[in-house]
């Protein structure tokens, strides 16, 4: 299976495809894909077989479904302990940013 990768190294998912053309509609062989990299914002293009494209998009759909299943699980309410821990971590971040400003 082929993957789409930008020259900067970022993998391109199906949501970054801006346009695609079927170059051989009779034989349904080759697609011309245009994409924009989410990392470097470079626009580029690539040729891919239609079969590879279908496998590529179906695989990504399964991955998105897994993420949605995980995020849709019922979350328990935030406990007081978690809340206090979060507040302490925010204070540490605030203190460290204030210290770094005074060092400069």
Positions in the chain whose pLDDT score sits under 50: 1
Tokens (6 digits) for 11? 């993998």
Q: Residue 13 has what DSSP assignment?
A: -
Look at residue 81 in the predicted model and tell me its pLDDT. 92
Distances (CA, A) of 7 to 16, 30, 77, 80: 15, 22, 44, 47
Give pLDDT tens digits for 48-62: 888 887 777 776 556
Look at residue 2 in the predicted model and tell me its pLDDT. 61
Look at residue 52 in the predicted model and tell me its pLDDT. 80
pTM recorded for the entire structure: 0.49
């Amino acid at each position: 299976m082929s993957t789409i990768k930008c020259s900067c190294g970022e993998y391109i998912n199906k949501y970054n495809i801006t346009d695609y053309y079927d170059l051989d509609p009779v034989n349904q062989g080759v697609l011309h894909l245009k994409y924009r990299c989410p990392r470097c914002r470079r626009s580029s293009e690539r040729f891919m077989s239609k079969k590879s494209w279908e496998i590529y998009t179906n695989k990504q759909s399964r991955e998105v479904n897994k993420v949605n299943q995980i995020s849709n699980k019922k979350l328990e309410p935030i406990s007081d302990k978690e809340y206090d821990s979060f507040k302490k971590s925010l204070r540490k971040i605030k203190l460290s940013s204030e210290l770094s400003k005074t060092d400069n």
